[in-house]
């Protein structure tokens, strides 16, 4: 089937990035959030990010103007449902995602494909609560969406081949690369990445190294572009903890036990860049370690 219209549910960091790349690729996008001001803020951010692309010569002003014109405010979730493809991009909380799929269900077209941008939650389980498990998939973009090349495609147990092939074509149209993953906790990227971050937090917790020395060791010793604790702050410590809990509960292996220090930071509300404090304090001119 051909995808021309896309509904993005959730206008946060991931949702606005997804809307950005789809609009640039020529798709008509309906962008929805529970708060209208979040939609306005997302469109303003997309406009600013596209200006940056114009400044770098990646796109021209006419392309930018056309793309912004393809992004529509969907104050009512019904507008998102009446599209060829729905992408849920809400917080990494299964109960929230289930409620979104329940809310959009009455408004779906017969052939609408449902997808979730979840980074760890079972696609089969999410699909089972809908009326179209055969047309349901995991569609996991990396953050920041406009810059990152990879998209994980995750089939649930009931996903049919036509749905997979359709989304593979969409990924190609976006100019990105697809990695196919089986429906196991955290899929590929986060199954590997988050335990590494969790181990870095254990290394801090046990006093093996400081925040600065751990991040420096991985940047200079493993040639990582960003240290694991800095990366955790960028992702959001609440998201890191949620994914580790999914791994720990889904695979029942103690090696995935979230570090108590990670739990403590989340309990304190120190979630990283988005709250101003995490493993670094971002409230001054330059980030400073909090331990």
Asked whether 70 and 110 are in contact (CB, 8 A), the reply is no
Query: 235-251: b or e for each residue (b if 16 or more CB lie within 10 Å)?
Result: bbbbbbbbbbbbbbeee
Q: Which residues are catalytic?
A: 119, 140, 152, 190
| Helical segments of the chain, H only | 13-24, 36-56, 61-69, 77-81, 94-104, 123-128, 161-173, 189-205, 211-221, 228-235, 237-251, 260-268
Question: Other CB atoms closer than 10 Å to residue 35's CB: what's the count?
Answer: 10
Q: What is the rounded distance in angstroms from the CA atom of residue 82 to the CA atom of residue 102?
A: 14
Q: Three-state SS for 115?
A: strand
């Amino acid at each position: 089937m051909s995808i021309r219209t896309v509904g993005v549910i959730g206008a946060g960091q991931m949702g606005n990035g997804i809307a950005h790349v789809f609009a640039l690729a020529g798709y008509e996008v309906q962008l929805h959030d529970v708060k209208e001001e979040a939609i306005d803020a997302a469109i303003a951010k997309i406009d600013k990010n596209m200006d940056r692309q114009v400044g770098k010569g990646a796109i021209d002003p006419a392309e930018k103007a056309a793309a912004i014109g393809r992004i529509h405010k969907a104050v009512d979730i019904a507008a998102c449902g009446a599209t060829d493809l729905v992408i849920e991009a809400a917080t990494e909380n299964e109960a929230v995602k289930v409620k979104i799929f329940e809310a959009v269900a009455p408004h779906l077209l017969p052939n609408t494909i449902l997808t979730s941008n979840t980074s760890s939650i079972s696609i089969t389980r999410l699909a089972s609560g809908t009326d179209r498990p055969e047309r349901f998939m995991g569609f996991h973009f990396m953050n920041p969406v406009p810059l990152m090349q990879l998209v994980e495609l995750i089939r649930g147990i009931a996903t049919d081949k036509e749905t997979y092939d359709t989304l593979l074509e969409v990924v190609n149209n976006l100019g990105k690369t697809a990695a196919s993953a089986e429906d196991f906790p955290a899929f590929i990227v986060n199954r590997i990445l988050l335990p590494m971050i969790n181990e870095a937090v254990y290394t801090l917790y046990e006093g093996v190294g400081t925040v600065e020395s751990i991040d420096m060791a991985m940047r200079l010793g493993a040639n990582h572009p960003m240290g694991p604790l800095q990366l955790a702050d960028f992702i959001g410590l609440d998201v890191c903890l949620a994914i580790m809990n999914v791994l720990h509960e889904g695979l029942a292996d103690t090696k995935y036990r979230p570090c108590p220090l990670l739990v403590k930071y989340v309990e304190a509300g120190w979630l990283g860049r988005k709250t101003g404090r995490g493993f670094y304090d971002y409230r001054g001119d330059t980030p400073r370690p909090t331990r």
